[in-house]
Amino acid sequence: MKKMILFSNGNQHDINHFLKVHAYAAAIGACEGLPEDTLQTLELAAIVHDIACPLCREKYGNTNGNYQQLEGAPLTRDFFAGTDIPADQLERIVWLVAHHHTLRPIEGPDHQILIEADYLVNAEESNLPESNIRHMNDAIFKTRTGKELLESVYFSR
């Protein structure tokens, strides 16, 4: 967590975004009963899921999801180089970062939960209309916990 905060070089939006996505991912994963190793992988992926945003802003002038996915994999590998994360876990983290804007097909509960956690935060940050949020609830959200949180945060006002 600290390493990613430092990597973000004072960009408060980026830091706050990944902290919120991490919190939602951890909560959904725990409530959905993910195995401990899968939950840890999910949490690490949530922390670094937008690692490519600074590069994308510089290189492309925006943070389009396709660019993030393209640029995120090598950055994630570099970020975790020299750590004690097992190779198979690192490959899954890299895969999740490279697919966190890919809504179909969903490949595993960690992928589903990362999509849901990121959307929970993006909906607020982008001030998305209720119709968009309801559509995502119906079309994309699959976990009981994710649906409950989306409903509580956006529709219980």
- pTM of the shown model: 0.95
Q: Which whole number is the average pLDDT over 18-23? A: 99
Domains located in the chain, CATH noted = 2-155 (1.10.3210.10)
Of the candidates 20, 37, 4, 5, which has an alpha carbon nearest to the alpha carbon of residue 116?
20
Distance from C-alpha of 155 to C-alpha of 85, rounded to nearest angstrom? 39
Q: Answer whether 37's CB lies under 8 Å from 51's CB.
A: no
pLDDT in tens, 49-97: 999 999 999 999 999 999 999 999 999 999 999 999 999 999 999 999 9
CB-side exposure of 40: number of CA atoms within 13 Å?
8
Burial of 76 per CB tally in 10 Å (0-12, 13-18, 19+): buried
Check residue 55 and give its pLDDT: 95
Q: Answer whether 46's CB lies under 8 Å from 33's CB.
A: no
Check residue 34 and give its pLDDT: 99
Q: 100 in helix, strand or coil?
A: coil
Residue 156 confidence class, pLDDT cut points 50, 70, 90 = confident
Does the pLDDT value for residue 157 go beyond 70?
Answer: no
Q: Which whole number is the average pLDDT over 26-31? A: 99
Please give the backbone phi and psi of residue 63, each rounded to the nearest 5 degrees, phi first: -115, 40
Does the pLDDT value for residue 102 go beyond 90?
Answer: yes
Average pLDDT across the chain, whole number: 97
Q: How far is CA 55 from the centre of its chain?
A: 17
